Amino acid sequence: MSSNNSSLLLKNIRLIDAGQNRDEKNLDILLRDGKVAEIAPDISFAADQVIDLDGAWVMPGAIDLHVHLREPGFEYKETILSGARAAVAGGFTSIACMANTRPVNDSAAVTRFILEQARSAPAKVLPIAAISKGMAGEELVEMGDLSAAGAVAFSDDGKTVANSKLLRHALEYASLFNKPLLCHCQDNALFADGVIHEGLISAAHGLPGIPTLAEDIDIARSIMLAEYLKVPIHICHLSTAEGIRLVRSAKDRGVKVTAEATPHHLFLDERAVIDLACGEVLDDSLKPNQLRYNTVTKMSPPLRATTDVSALREALADGTIDVIATDHAPHEATEKAVEYELAPFGVIGLETAVALGLRLINEKVLTPLELTARLSLAPAEILGLDDRGSLAVGMAADLMIVDPELEWTVDPEKFYSKARNTPFAGWRMQGRVVKTIVDGKVVFNL
């Protein structure tokens, strides 16, 4: 984004910012030239624009280090522009997009194309390059060239780098550039033709199961490599209690491992496959026959057992899970309107994640400060973005304004994303992003 030679004064805010460890009411924040200029109880400055927020929350803009924007190659699912619009509507000011486009983002040319397309986007778009050429798991991409072109991380997300020697060298080589590897951990042979969690629901309904083991074995392998090489590693979308245990004990040993969890794994379990409502009081937008085997419950890793969900929430609270990331995976409606076993994996999340995060506060899983740590501070640190993730003076003026009381119902028809494949349709929420500001400029206004 180009910086903004203007000033905006937000008055009467509650500032919530883990980076400064501040959760304080009755403050004003002045944004000048795209940066945070001053935070004080009563700022008198003749700003170009003054907004009295009447006690609304101001939090650093959320940073999603795991989204799929589908461009180039699958623009019918999502474009960089539509994905970025969805992002800012949900409070995300920076989004890191995975490399599984067509062509795969395995060359500086593709990275530059993504950045070029992102110039008109309302959010900051950060390309993640593939680890291996064509994500084929055979040869390393030109990490130096890609880093220079603007890649912020490397990942063969959706696929695992099954060859441990290749993964070893990827970790070693990426450390030259201080770029993290984001690992989608999955043992492909154990994953096999699975479509849902291997557990009670797969046993009862005959849907092929994905064992937790398929994830855990690969998390263990990834952690062992990082520990041996003394390099950082980031584990994508943890979903299992055992995976959490592995990450927690690695952190205790001092391994530089970080981990993320998605909102859908924090709020839904395997039972959603046969009853999408699953205890939630939905509005009547879903017909009864849409509640069973609805493909919006199909993603990888799958929705796990209730015990995994509680372990995930505990790990999010105690910091074992550093980051909430959406794994925003848009698909066109007809692609999902097929037999469950044939449907593509993935759900969207950019426009519901922060609201679900606010719900975690209401449910006493997280404090507001912890939420900003998981949504902003930690992802900025992992990606090495030292100009954002916090609203300290001098940082980029990337922020979201939240009305914590606002009640609303998730209506996918109103999404900015091109896609509608959310499992949260009809959910009644309390708390919503009402304005999003990037580089001092209002880019979303409810």
| Cβ at position 345, least distance to other proteins in Å | 15
Which range binds other proteins by CB under 8 A, 25-33, 54-62, 237-245, 331-339? 331-339
136 binds other proteins per the rule CB under 8 A: no
**For other proteins, which residue of 136, 200, 392, 393 counts as binding (CB under 8 A)?**
200
289 binds other proteins per the rule CB under 8 A: yes
333 binds other proteins per the rule CB under 8 A: no
Closest CA to 87 of 124, 43, 41, 133: 124
Q: Running DSSP on this structure, what letter comes out for residue 302? A: P
**For other proteins, which residue of 140, 341, 344, 442 counts as binding (CB under 8 A)?**
341
Q: Indicate if 327 belongs to the active site.
A: yes
The beta strands (E) that lie in 193-276 are given as 196-197, 209-210, 233-235, 257-261
Instruction: Return the number of the residue (199 or 368) whose C-beta is nearest other proteins.
Output: 199
**For other proteins, which residue of 42, 44, 206, 413 counts as binding (CB under 8 A)?**
206
Total residues interacting with other proteins, rule: CB under 8 A: 24
Phi, psi (deg, nearest 5) at residue 394: 100, -15
Q: Compute the distance between CA of residue 326 and CA of residue 10 in angstroms, rounded to an integer.
A: 28
284 binds other proteins per the rule CB under 8 A: no
205 binds other proteins per the rule CB under 8 A: yes
Instruction: Return the number of the residue (114 or 276) whose C-beta is nearest other proteins.
Output: 276
Instruction: Return the number of the residue (278 or 400) whose C-beta is nearest other proteins.
Output: 278
Adjacent-strand bridge partners of 350? none
Per-residue buried b or exposed e for 266-288, using 16+ beta carbons within 10 Å of the residue's own CB: bbbbbbbbbebebeeebeeeeee
**For other proteins, which residue of 338, 392, 393, 446 counts as binding (CB under 8 A)?**
338
Instruction: Return the number of the residue (71 or 270) whose C-beta is nearest other proteins.
Output: 270
Concatenated DSSP letters of 341-406:
GGSPP----TTTHHHHHHHHHHTTSS-HHHHHIIIIIHHHHHTT-TT-SS--TTSB--EEEEEEEE
| Cβ at position 342, least distance to other proteins in Å | 7
Q: Is 68 exposed, middle or buried (0-12, 13-18, 19+ CB in 10 A)?
A: buried
Catalytic residue among 327, 398, 403, 439: 327
Q: Which residues are catalytic?
A: 327
Q: Which positions lie near other proteins, rule CB under 8 A?
A: 198-200, 202-209, 211, 287, 289-290, 292-293, 334, 337-342
